[in-house]
A and B are shown apart, each in its own frame.
Chain A
Amino acid sequence: MRFITPAILILATAGAAASFVPAVAAQAPAVQGWVPGKTSDGYPNIEGVWRAWNLAKYDLEDHGAKPGVPAGRGFVVDPADGKIPYKPEMLARRQKNYEGTRTTDILVNSDPLAKCYMPGVPRLTYLGWPFQIIQDKQDVNFTYEWSHKKRIVPIGDTSPLPDPEGGLNLRWNGMARGRYDGNSLVVTLGNFNPYTWFDMAGNFHSDALTVVERYTPIGPDTLQYEATMTDPNVFTRPWTIRMVLQRQKEIGLLDYECTAMLDDLGIHHTFPRDFDVQQ
């Protein structure tokens, strides 16, 4: 029982403040007549500190209340029923994932995030902590307050992603190719390892996952974020989530050093390597 408070702390700290924004905000219309600015390189300007104030981190689908989790609407806009189109035989795995999170012991919690492992994409976007976008001519830099994770998206590189080489070229956050499409930044990702989840409800993928992210400025302080997931091993068809990200103006990125907090709680992150153990 001694870990019950830390478990809630680690996984849900950003949750309380987030719960007042209804999911319908995801459908916020573009500001009439507003035209996004350009960077000095002529790209649509999406620089700044951004944050998702919503419930997506708990569950991407419509869900009722659970311990520490407010009930709320989901974020899946395609398929229209709002459900992630799992192959029927894959639903048991999601259920098992979720059951594994119902523990007070972080060391056996099935959510990779409980041990501060890299959250993956798109989970990093709506984890609840702010992140900063920096654009330059050749790439877009994402820096996340959560454990200061960062990723670099190359612009205009259309070469195919490298062969996975048995896992050597797989990444927690995938490998990216970026391009601008009208006012949107479009990021296509592949080469994911299979160890990350989409949310705290146990929604998962395989290493066949590809993700297409689309960041579109729809107002001076608002980005629309869309992500389309394709994974023929797990889903019957591609599916898309949509939400808004809000500009954080009052302060820049601060610290959330997840592993240091485990240490401070007496849960030394010297646990055995477990994420790639054959089940």
Chain B
Amino acid sequence: MQNRASIVLSIAVLVGGLAVVSTPALAQGRGGGGGRGGGAPRVAPALPPAGPIPRTADGKPNLEGVFSGMGSGLTHTVILEDHTSGFGIRGGKSLITDPANGVIPYQPWALVERNKRREDVNAYEDPVGHCEFYDIGRLHSFAQRFMYTGGNIAIAGQEQIVRIIDMNRKQHLPASIRLWNGDPIGRWEGDTLVIDTTNFNGRTRMALGGDFYSANAHIVERYTMVDSNTINWTMTVDDPTVFTRPWTFTTAAPMIRQVDGSNDWNRALRLLDPAWEHDCHEGNVVLRHMRNVYEQTWGGKPRPQTVPGSVP
């Protein structure tokens, strides 16, 4: 029974995973109007040649636009380290740049926990399958839209997620306020936007393959604009609860500006299309099948798991 359950779940997860990233494209047709809101697909020129860094009135790089670091396609939504193709994604090299061996420096207990999360019967635990949150690194598997508001920077990511980066505050929120994507505070270092995030709730996963950090994580992202079309991004995770040392990873390719005709345009479009609605939870029947297998495996209770020092 266990094997059959695993196979069924693998299929369910595959369908579910694809549903999460692509089913809305099927469900939400584009009608016959002429405008952006529900109008016909836009067909327009490809990316213009890169020029100097565009700047806002105060001389800082102007990040406005849609950028994607996905490179030639979905490669790291499941596993961040070296991986062969499978699960509907291409093979890929590790995104981890530090340590040099490309392996996430888990503490022994955490590696065991990560590997348990990776088992297909436990994929039901992934909050993305529940239409909840991607972690802030996982968002970089997809296109993101940068906007400005009241001196702050807003980054709209996959599905419903919009991060408002506070550019004025110096202190993080009180420790009792915990957020799915943490409390982001931004600052400029030259042409690099540095985002410092704490106050996580420890419930997100970095990939479907189970990589995680705890509520105690301190994450620093660096967005460096190098020309009008390109942003280099790195994310350093410091979490003494889970890892033996801080580690850093990046996107599969530099984040490239998305315009009509870009390879990632179909996904980027959702960040700009007023006719796009990020419904996911409504009618998410696949999750039910995943849960059936999960409950069968764990006797109707959640899998026992503990993250030391984590916020309950």
Is A28 part of the contact surface with B, judged by Cβ < 8 Å?
no
Is A255 part of the contact surface with B, judged by Cβ < 8 Å?
yes
Task: Provide the residues of chain B in CB contact with A271, threshold 8 Å.
Answer: 288
Nearest-neighbor residue (CB-CB) of B285 within chain A: A273
Task: Provide the residues of chain B in CB contact with A260, threshold 8 Å.
Answer: 127, 130, 132, 203
Q: Which of B160, B272, B288 contacts A149 (CB 8 A)?
A: B160
In the assembled complex, the Cα of A265 lies from the Cα of B134 at a distance in Å of 21
Is B265 part of the contact surface with A, judged by Cβ < 8 Å?
no
Interface residues contributed by chain B, number (CB under 8 Å): 53
Q: Which of B30, B162, B276, B283 contacts A148 (CB 8 A)?
A: B162
A275 touches B274 (CB 8 A): no
Stretch of A51-59, A71-79, A131-139 at the chain-chain interface: A131-139
A163 touches B32 (CB 8 A): yes
Is B48 part of the contact surface with A, judged by Cβ < 8 Å?
no
Interface residues contributed by chain A, number (CB under 8 Å): 56
In the assembled complex, the Cα of A154 lies from the Cα of B156 at a distance in Å of 16
Q: Which of B162, B273, B277, B291 contacts A143 (CB 8 A)?
A: B162
Q: Which of A118, A154, A169, A191 contacts B282 (CB 8 A)?
A: A118
Task: Provide the residues of chain A in CB contact with B308, threshold 8 Å.
Answer: none
Is B90 part of the contact surface with A, judged by Cβ < 8 Å?
no
Interface string of B197-224 (1 = CB under 8 A from A): 0000101000000000000000000000
Interface string of A144-183 (1 = CB under 8 A from B): 0001111111100111111111001101110111000000
A175 touches B179 (CB 8 A): no
In the assembled complex, the Cα of A271 lies from the Cα of B283 at a distance in Å of 8
B31 touches A162 (CB 8 A): yes
Is A269 part of the contact surface with B, judged by Cβ < 8 Å?
yes
Given contacts A263-B130, A269-B284, contact A169 B160 (CB under 8 A): no
Task: Provide the residues of chain A in CB contact with B103, threshold 8 Å.
Answer: none
In the assembled complex, the Cα of A134 lies from the Cα of B154 at a distance in Å of 9
In the assembled complex, the Cα of A138 lies from the Cα of B285 at a distance in Å of 36
Task: Provide the residues of chain B in CB contact with A148, threshold 8 Å.
Answer: 160-162
A252 touches B164 (CB 8 A): yes
Interface string of B138-152 (1 = CB under 8 A from A): 000000000111100
Given contacts A159-B33, A165-B31, A169-B29, contact A259 B274 (CB under 8 A): no
Nearest-neighbor residue (CB-CB) of A272 within chain B: B285
**Chain B contacts with A in 247-290, Cβ cutoff 8 A:** 272-279, 281-285, 287-288, 290
B147 touches A172 (CB 8 A): no
Most buried by B among A136, A172, A175: A175
Q: Which of B29, B173, B284, B285 contacts A168 (CB 8 A)?
A: B29
Given contacts A257-B133, A260-B132, contact A147 B35 (CB under 8 A): no
Stretch of B36-44, B74-82, B105-113, B188-196 at the chain-chain interface: B36-44
Interface string of B49-64 (1 = CB under 8 A from A): 0000000000000001
In the assembled complex, the Cα of A269 lies from the Cα of B285 at a distance in Å of 9
Given contacts A147-B160, A161-B33, A177-B37, contact A171 B277 (CB under 8 A): yes
Q: Which of B29, B35, B180 contacts A255 (CB 8 A)?
A: B180
Is B177 part of the contact surface with A, judged by Cβ < 8 Å?
yes
In the assembled complex, the Cα of A68 lies from the Cα of B282 at a distance in Å of 27
Is B135 part of the contact surface with A, judged by Cβ < 8 Å?
no
In the assembled complex, the Cα of A269 lies from the Cα of B287 at a distance in Å of 8
Is A18 part of the contact surface with B, judged by Cβ < 8 Å?
no
B133 touches A176 (CB 8 A): no
**Chain A contacts with B in 243-279, Cβ cutoff 8 A:** 251-255, 257, 259-260, 263, 268-273, 275-276
Task: Provide the residues of chain A in CB contact with B287, threshold 8 Å.
Answer: 269-270
A160 touches B160 (CB 8 A): no
Nearest-neighbor residue (CB-CB) of B295 within chain A: A268
Q: Which of A116, A141, A152, A153 contacts B281 (CB 8 A)?
A: A116
Most buried by A among B33, B37, B132, B164: B37
Interface string of A187-228 (1 = CB under 8 A from B): 000010000000000000000000000000000000000000
Is A48 part of the contact surface with B, judged by Cβ < 8 Å?
yes
In the assembled complex, the Cα of A141 lies from the Cα of B164 at a distance in Å of 12
Is B5 part of the contact surface with A, judged by Cβ < 8 Å?
no
A159 touches B285 (CB 8 A): no
**Chain B contacts with A in 103-134, Cβ cutoff 8 A:** 127, 130-133
In the assembled complex, the Cα of A272 lies from the Cα of B37 at a distance in Å of 31
23 A-B residue pairings within 8 Å (CB atoms): A118-B277, A118-B282, A132-B149, A134-B147, A141-B156, A147-B281, A148-B162, A151-B277, A154-B35, A157-B35, A158-B35, A159-B33, A161-B33, A162-B31, A162-B33, A168-B31, A251-B173, A252-B164, A257-B133, A269-B130, A270-B284, A271-B288, A275-B283
In the complex, besides A143-B154, A154-B274, A252-B166, 14 extra interface pairs with C-beta distance below 8 angstroms are: A117-B281, A143-B162, A143-B164, A152-B276, A154-B36, A157-B35, A159-B39, A162-B38, A169-B30, A259-B281, A270-B290, A270-B291, A273-B283, A273-B285
The 4 closest A-B pairs by CB, nearest first: A162-B31, A159-B35, A157-B35, A168-B29
Interface of A toward B, CB cutoff 8 Å: 47-48, 116-118, 132, 134-136, 138-139, 141, 143, 147-154, 157-165, 168-169, 171-173, 175-177, 191, 251-255, 257, 259-260, 263, 268-273, 275-276
